[in-house]
Structure 1
């Protein structure tokens, strides 16, 4: 079970900007995308490379290229806010999508949309959602990705709480979890404290 908090000064600065109640949707989105880039830069330190010969304007040289396809899976809708920044860093990444909503009676996540990509079983898969709260949606999304054949899966979020981390580790002990912050707890209505509010609403300006 791997759980990593990426404490980079630039990430902490941008996360603080996002937490502020007065931050606009535009600034919230921009900082979220930038944090996504910074986090993936750190996470990809162990990605396999392939050596290849190239020709520069001066002479032949040895270079390197990423030796495994990459698939991003945002959990709709808030996860969409992290994909643009990550894809800027990895423009060859393919994007699958998983849409989930919470059943009002059972409080369990229910799938309403899922679209995979080709060769996901051979890919380095990153499931993204800004918040890891109860852990239900993350666990369900990873379950769906595994049904598609995904094996090498990492979950990336902005803010997590111990309850969500515990749930995800129990459900998928083989999945590495990365976050920018571990907050205190969930409150009585399921919001992360201190958190940053409803990430989807703040990304898309729907409230």
Structure 2
């Protein structure tokens, strides 16, 4: 679908392959998620708008007109595993707002449960970058999208490292105005709602609580 972009750079793919491995420590997982996010964001942010800075800048050789990103952004990490992607995003986009959403998937029903939402009443940004390492059934992602649409943001980009074919196809069809940037699409989603081969329970792996 036209609103799904797979970030297929060889370095990203090699790092995702490493991320899958059960031999990783929690520190390894955090470092891999961070580096994959940084690499993916080059594609995610390729169309941000630039404007000249108000004041002329000076290089060691001559004066020049500086540039700054004018798109007003909000970074939306989905708690808890989305936090592992936040440092990479905020380092690259240091003027962006950071707004957290707390959502988890109930283990029996596989339905999303919202437990934290501190979005201000009025939306003041042009674009939201939602950060979540995994999309499995798509329920949590859909809940986040609906919350942000209700908030009034005009453009949503969803950034996920590993997704299921079924989950991403359903989301992309249902929300054609949302742009999905993913690292890899895995074909299998099992009865428990796990992506296969996937990257496991990313929250547990990141926090050493598996």
How far did 1:59 drift?
Answer: 2.8
Deviation sequence 1:90-120 (CA, Å, 0-9, x none): 1222211111123456432121111125874
Q: Map of 1:1-207 to 2, 5 A cutoff?
A: 1-52=2-53, 53-103=56-106, 106-116=109-119, 120-207=123-210
In the TM superposition, what is the alpha-carbon distance from 1:195 to its structure 2 partner?
Answer: 0.4
**Native 8 Å contact 2:137 2:167 kept in 1:** yes
RMSD across aligned C-alpha pairs, in angstroms? 1.7
Q: 1:195 to 1:30 in 2, by over 3 A?
A: same
Cα distance, 1:106–1:26 mapped onto 2, change above 3 Å: closer
The separation in 1 between residues aligned to 2:57 and 2:122, in whole angstroms, is 27
- The 3-state SS of whatever aligns with 2:23 is coil
Number of equivalent positions = 207
Question: What TM-score results when the alignment is normalised by the length of structure 1?
Answer: 0.93
Q: Which stretches in structure 1 are left out of the alignment for 5+ residues?
A: none
Q: Which moved more, 1:54-63 or 1:185-194?
A: 54-63
Worse-superposed segment, 86-95 or 100-109: 100-109
Query: Structure 1: how far apart are the matches of 2:3 and 2:100?
Result: 24
**Structure 2 unpaired stretches of 5+:** none
Q: Is the 8 A contact 2:75 2:99 kept in 1?
A: yes
Cα distance between partner residues in 2 of 1:25 and 1:16: 16
Compared with structure 1, are the counterparts of its residues 41 and 120 closer, same or farther at alpha carbon in structure 2 (3 Å cutoff)? farther
In the superposition, the TM-score normalised over structure 2's length comes to: 0.92
SS of 2:167's equivalent? helix
Q: Do 2:74 and 2:98's aligned partners in 1 also have CA atoms closer than 8 Å?
A: yes
